């Protein structure tokens, strides 16, 4: 049964990584209120909730009540299985391949949709007052000009920022974390690397980053393929370079 468990876990991980969470309707689950007053109760609920979220992403491909019965049978013991244990791995492998194909197709369609919407948005956005388009296609608008130094592409900077999708969905924010972020400009997406080098310390800019200067076709954990990203960035400071570590001289061999 160890192999079976690995297959099940791989399916759940694959589903979680392959698609964004969707706002979905109830799948027949009741709204029973629980008393979660112990660590065991809370942990049990969280395990079930996470499993429900993962399976909810492929709800069209599974039957909720049958999944629930399978869970009950598996929880009770192998002798309760209604499908032979020898047959299960083959069934799950076929299921995983089907889900993989479905997710790839969904991702392809989402990428095409995002690309068309992104191109249309950037075309119209470029016409708006105050929006500047660089040679690479990056668009930006100065909200507040700074008075400090301008960072180089290899500098480490400290910034406050907020990132949203075209529909206004916020996917990241240093403000929500309650502290600014620091990073090297040559270790972030190209749109950031180029854009922040246009700013002086103290400046606030709004950036409209085309997909090819962001995460492109692959997207990321909570950003779909070919998504245009909008960032509000405040450049707080350019951090001093870290002191070089002194190389330790090799010890001389002892002489007699």
Token pair of 194 as six digits: 């180029």
Catalytic residue among 205, 207, 208, 231: 231
Catalytic residue among 64, 171, 183, 184: 171
Residues 6+ apart with CB under 8 A from 198: 134, 140, 150, 205
Catalytic residue among 140, 161, 205, 208: 161
Enclosing H/E stretch for 66: helix 64-76
Question: Does the annotation count 121 as an active-site position?
Answer: no
Catalytic residue among 95, 102, 189, 232: 189
Closest CA to 225 of 103, 102, 104, 115: 115
Which phi and psi (to 5°) does residue 15 adopt?
-65, -45
Question: Does the annotation count 49 as an active-site position?
Answer: no
Catalytic residue among 73, 155, 172, 232: 172
Catalytic residue among 205, 207, 208, 215: 215
Question: Does the annotation count 183 as an active-site position?
Answer: no
**Secondary-structure percent of the chain, ordered helix, strand, coil, rounded to 5:** 45, 20, 40
Question: Does the annotation count 215 as an active-site position?
Answer: yes
Question: From CA 4, how far away is CA 54, in angstroms rounded?
Answer: 18
**Residues with a known catalytic role:** 161, 171-172, 189, 215, 231
């Amino acid at each position: 049964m160890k192999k079976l468990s690995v297959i099940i876990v791989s399916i759940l991980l694959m589903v979680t990584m392959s698609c964004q969470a969707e706002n979905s309707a109830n799948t027949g689950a009741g709204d029973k209120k629980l008393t979660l007053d112990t660590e065991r109760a809370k942990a049990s609920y969280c395990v079930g909730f996470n499993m429900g979220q993962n399976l909810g992403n492929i709800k069209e491909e599974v039957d909720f009540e049958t999944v629930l019965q399978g869970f009950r049978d598996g929880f009770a013991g192998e002798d309760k299985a209604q499908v032979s244990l020898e047959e299960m791995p083959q069934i799950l492998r076929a299921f995983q391949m089907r889900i993989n194909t479905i997710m790839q197709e969904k991702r392809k369609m989402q990428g095409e949709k995002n690309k068309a919407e992104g191109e249309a948005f950037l075309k119209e956005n470029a016409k708006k007052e105050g929006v500047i388009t660089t040679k690479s296609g990056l668009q930006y608008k100065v909200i507040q000009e700074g008075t400090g130094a301008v960072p180089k592409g290899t500098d480490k900077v400290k910034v406050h920022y907020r990132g949203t999708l075209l529909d206004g969905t916020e996917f990241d924010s240093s403000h929500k974390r309650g502290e600014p972020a620091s990073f090297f400009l040559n270790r972030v997406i190209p749109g950031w690397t180029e854009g922040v080098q246009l700013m002086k310390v103290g400046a606030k800019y709004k950036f409209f980053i085309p997909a090819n200067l962001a995460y492109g076709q692959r997207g990321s954990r909570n950003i779909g393929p070919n998504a245009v990203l909008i960032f509000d960035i405040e450049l707080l400071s350019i951090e001093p370079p870290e002191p070089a570590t002194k190389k330790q001289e090799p010890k001389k061999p002892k002489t007699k």
